[in-house]
Structure 1
Amino acid sequence: MRVEQGLTQRQLAEPVYTPAYISTLESGRVRPSDDALRHLAGRLGVAFDELATGRSARLVTELRLRLTEAQRTFAVGEAEAAAEQYAELLVEAETQGLAGEQAAALLGLGECALETGELVAGRQYFERAEACLADAPLPARVPALRGRAVAHYLAGELRYAVYLLETTLDELNRGGLHDPDALLLLYASAIGPYMDMGAHARAAQAAEFALALAPQSGDPALVARMHRSVARTLVAEGRLAEADASLAKAAELYRGLQIRTELANCHWMRGYVYAQDGQLERAEEELREALGMLSAKRAALYSSQVAVELADVLHRRGKSDEAAALLHGVLDDLSPERGAVHSAAAHRLLGIIAEDARRTEDAEEHYVRALSLLERAGAAGDLADLCRLLGDLLRRTGRVEAALDAYRTGLGHRTAPGTTTLGPAPAQPPL
């Protein structure tokens, strides 16, 4: 820097130090004190941190601006392009030794991986981000922990996903770490797994806490995501008008932020709401809109999940052949490790379609495959319903004892406590 600026060693040293001292610093024989570094930084017109760490403040600022640009790329639905940006930024952050920026790049890569259905890679990115932030306060680590939980949830590991979310919530609440954004993110993320596990009371409580925390959050995207999650609990309670209003708020926020992925998810949830309310034509319109938006962004896993729900609506509208074709087309993209609950739902619906067509053996095969997927995921409510379907099929074909076994299994799932492996619910936030 001295040579670039045309300064002599004497000019850099004076009036506090000698040219000989500057010479020893430049040759690496002596380590400068903080006072010396401050003097030199002032003479060179740079920040103290730049001399102390060897990192250019300008380069760090540019790196952070490019991280923001990558976030924007992801937000408008270009997950693959965003992943390329994040990968480049991760290398630069590692070279510069910037732990916070490394974590941000890894979080971005994790979100991109979830978007494209690469759940194992996504979980690994979130684990690395958490390791980068090992010395940071818990609220700073919440996005990485939440990312890990979502990866496990999408893989069908509902109980472990809830375990991660609940233990983090307990640590935040019991430790007095009242961070509204962190708490809102965790409560909103827990709603989906709770609903799939049949723990509707706990899902409703999480939604209540999330709604109470929303006014304290400074992140409109997070608030919009919360509204989308809360809609699920409102549907379960039969409060369909409120659910639709919540989704309308979310969609408005997402449009303002130009976040197409989440906007697609709003169409998805509105389709779900209309389907629950029996408004099948409107449900089909919303789900087709969501499927088109997600497919355009090549969000394979989410597209497959929407396709399953669209197939259910098509079947209920008398379009069973189209529904079956759609389900067969997406089953290859779903597996026990990628979307177990929706994979089971696809087999369940194919079983119903086969039963309607009097193809009993095909129906039984689909029900049994769905049962295996749901048992692994621990989706109690769906398991109970499936056991009833299987029991009815077995009874109609004269296998009464096997039907009784299926009904008993279903009753066991229905009467199991709608809780997680932890027992008590997480501590309540200090609202």
Structure 2
Amino acid sequence: MLESGRTRASMKALEHIAGVLGVKPADLLGGAPSPAAPQYMLYEARRLAEEGRAAEAIPLLEQLEEGLTPPDQLVRLRYLAACYNLSGQAKAAFPLIERAQRMADLLGDQEEQIRVKAVLAAAYTRTYAYEEAIRVLKECVQASDDGVVNDPAFQFRRLVDLAVAQTNQRQPKQALLTYERAIALSEEFGDRASLAHLYAGIAKAHHDSGDLEAAILNSQKSLHIYEDLGLMDQVACALDNAAALYVEHGNTTRARECLARAARIAEEVRRDTTLASIRASEAELLARTDTDAALEQAQQVLKFARRVEQPDAQVRMLLLTGELRMKTSSATARRSFQEARQVAE
């Protein structure tokens, strides 16, 4: 029997809608979903992102520019921006966040509006805009208190993020109060990775308030959790931070041991940006006993940090170079300080 014109037009419309959604027409008619539908790729990308495997999730998320429903497209943008944050590409995350914000507003999805704000706060933090991060994170925490987002894990992570930002903004008293609230909330579930971040932040807050022993104690707690979870890049970062505390405590031997182990781990997991920070710490420690050797090492670390685009290590080595050259060439020292300021900006 021949199809009528109306039937053919209906089928073409159905095929068009299915194509936009990234599914087969049978899916819209109640048939079995196609395993190749973009939604399934989105689920897989989300799983990878939630496991911290941002580098694997990004290509999948980038392929899904078309074929998703508007709500799924919003989720894709949010996860892609979050993955860019995790992979050290915060500047690339901002345009995606803006798109996600507009889409969340158009959909009237209040929960997604807050979740996108959390990604925005992370991007602010990674670009050192701590004041803006604090403002946005407070909005996220308040939204959780008001029931806009009914997710204790989300609220806990935002409290930890807020405390870290407050610590970085030199607000240790406020940070410790925020950490106390986060610890109380953490008893509701077992997010140990976030708990490790929490202890690392508490260590920094205690350090900023002058309690070095409490800082070392909480730094060790953070390190042990990262080790138990097998998060080796975080282990290397924690060892780098612990070394700085041991230096201030006067235990340079323990500091060298921490840095040596941290460097081995960073090399094994191929995290060059982490390695640049560790090498910078080694140069700073060496400067305490051997100025000439430290100056040479600082130049090597500076070259490496530039190659791997690690601005924090670059600033540290430029400042160290300036300090070490002050006695022999004040003009050269000033140039190093000026360049450090330019990189920091």
Normalising by the smaller structure, the TM-score range is 0.7 to 0.9
**CA deviation map 1:230-264 (0-9, x unaligned):** 22112223444443443444344444444333333
User: In the alignment, does 2:23 pair up with 1:51?
Assistant: no
Indicate conservation of the 8 Å contact 1:50/1:57, yes or no. yes
Q: Structure 1's 149 and 285: CA in aligned 2 closer, same or farther, altered over 3 A?
A: farther
Q: Structure 1's 224 and 24: CA in aligned 2 closer, same or farther, altered over 3 A?
A: farther
- Secondary structure of the residue that 1:96 maps to in structure 2? coil
Unaligned runs of 5+ residues in structure 1 are 1-8, 10-19, 33-48, 377-431
**CA deviation map 1:306-351 (0-9, x unaligned):** 443343223235351354134422452588xx74x65443322221
Residue in 2 aligned with 1:358? 328
Indicate conservation of the 8 Å contact 1:119/1:151, yes or no. yes
Indicate conservation of the 8 Å contact 2:159/2:179, yes or no. yes
Question: Aligned pair count?
Answer: 329
In terms of Rg, which structure is larger? 1
Q: Which amino acid aligns with 1:87?
A: E
Indicate conservation of the 8 Å contact 1:334/1:343, yes or no. no
Superposition TM-score, scaled by structure 1 size: 0.61
TM superposition shift of 1:200: 2.6
- Secondary structure of the residue that 1:209 maps to in structure 2? helix
Residues 236-315 of structure 1 correspond to what in structure 2 (within 5 A)? 236-294=208-266, 297=269, 299-315=271-287
- In 1, distance between residues paired with 2:90 and 2:75? 18
Residue in 2 aligned with 1:63? 41
Residue in 1 aligned with 2:178? 206
Indicate conservation of the 8 Å contact 1:311/1:324, yes or no. yes
Residue in 2 aligned with 1:83? 58
TM superposition shift of 1:50: 4.2
Match for residue 234 of structure 1 among 172, 196, 206: 206
Q: Which amino acid aligns with 1:213?
A: L
Q: Which range moves more in the overlay, 249-258 or 266-275?
A: 249-258
Indicate conservation of the 8 Å contact 2:78/2:97, yes or no. yes
Q: Structure 1's 248 and 150: CA in aligned 2 closer, same or farther, altered over 3 A?
A: same
Structure scoring higher RCO (CA < 8 A, sep ≥ 6) equals: 1
- In 1, distance between residues paired with 2:96 and 2:269? 21
Q: Give the superposed CA RMSD.
A: 4.1
- In 1, distance between residues paired with 2:29 and 2:78? 28
Q: Which amino acid aligns with 1:362?
A: T
Residue in 1 aligned with 2:298? 324
User: In the alignment, does 2:93 pair up with 1:122?
Assistant: yes
- In 2, distance between residues paired with 1:272 and 1:109? 34
**CA deviation map 1:348-395 (0-9, x unaligned):** 22211212x522222222234445666x5xxxxxxxxxxxxxxxxxxx
Match for residue 220 of structure 1 among 192, 208, 228: 192
- In 2, distance between residues paired with 1:126 and 1:297? 29
Residue in 1 aligned with 2:10? 28
- In 1, distance between residues paired with 2:93 and 2:257? 31
- Secondary structure of the residue that 1:156 maps to in structure 2? coil
Residue in 1 aligned with 2:318? 347
Identity of aligned residues (%): 17
Indicate conservation of the 8 Å contact 1:153/1:161, yes or no. yes
Indicate conservation of the 8 Å contact 1:308/1:342, yes or no. yes
- In 1, distance between residues paired with 2:307 and 2:30? 47
- In 2, distance between residues paired with 1:163 and 1:173? 16
Superposition TM-score, scaled by structure 2 size: 0.73
Indicate conservation of the 8 Å contact 1:146/1:189, yes or no. no
Q: Structure 1's 311 and 124: CA in aligned 2 closer, same or farther, altered over 3 A?
A: farther
Indicate conservation of the 8 Å contact 2:199/2:218, yes or no. yes
